[in-house]
Amino acid sequence: MNIQLTYSISIDEFLEMVKSVGWKTYSKEQVEKALNHTMYMVKATVDGRLAGIGRVVGDYSIVCVLTDICVKPEYQRKGIGLKITLELKRLIEENVACGEKMRIELTPTAGNEAFYERAGFKYNPDKITGMYLWIKK
């Protein structure tokens, strides 16, 4: 299996991925704006076919959020999600200056905590539990 990582995601690829895992969808305009304001993004292809994506948004200094990590069902459990996540982590690390620190946050979908632990993230529900709120108009 030839897994390749690249650093851009088109609007259509983003929408294709979101649809493949059954997440809420967005207008093309909204996705374009989101991608334009993304700190880092990674796309995985397998033999040239779109298999997974992930991105990081944030303030480039103190905090960032790992988001939209998803792998098409037919490509799951083959190490692709981990590869994407570790590459995003590497890109963040590369841009933290000596003596500085930056926090990466994420809100795992239920059942995927172990996946992120595998990528080095801390899961400590006695101390911190993630929360979220959708604003809809």
Ligand X SMILES: CC(C)(COP(=O)(O)OP(=O)(O)OC[C@H]1O[C@@H](n2cnc3c(N)ncnc32)[C@H](O)[C@@H]1OP(=O)(O)O)[C@@H](O)C(=O)NCCC(=O)NCCS
The stretch among 25-33, 78-86, 94-102, 121-129 that binds ligand X (CB under 6 A) is 78-86
Strands 103-105, 40-46: pairing is unpaired
Provide the minimum distance between the beta carbon of 33 and ligand X in the complex, in angstroms, as a whole number.
21
Provide the minimum distance between the beta carbon of 84 and ligand X in the complex, in angstroms, as a whole number.
8
Q: Nearest to ligand X by Cβ — which residue? A: 81
Paired tokens of 8: 């851009």
Provide the minimum distance between the beta carbon of 99 and ligand X in the complex, in angstroms, as a whole number.
31
Q: Does 109 bind ligand X (CB under 6 A)?
A: yes
Strands 49-58, 40-46: pairing is antiparallel
Q: Does 25 bind ligand X (CB under 6 A)?
A: no
> Quick one: 1 or 98, whose CB is closer to ligand X?
1
Provide the minimum distance between the beta carbon of 25 and ligand X in the complex, in angstroms, as a whole number.
14
Q: Does 88 bind ligand X (CB under 6 A)?
A: no
Q: Does 77 bind ligand X (CB under 6 A)?
A: yes
CA distances from 83 to 23, 80, 113, 131 (A): 21, 5, 16, 26
CA distances from 35 to 14, 45, 117, 122 (A): 9, 18, 26, 27
Q: Do residues 16 and 22 lie in contact, with contact meaning Cβ atoms separated by under 8 Å?
A: no
CA within 13 Å, CB half, 88: 33
Binding site for ligand X (CB under 6 A): 21, 69-71, 76-82, 108-109, 111-112, 114-115, 118
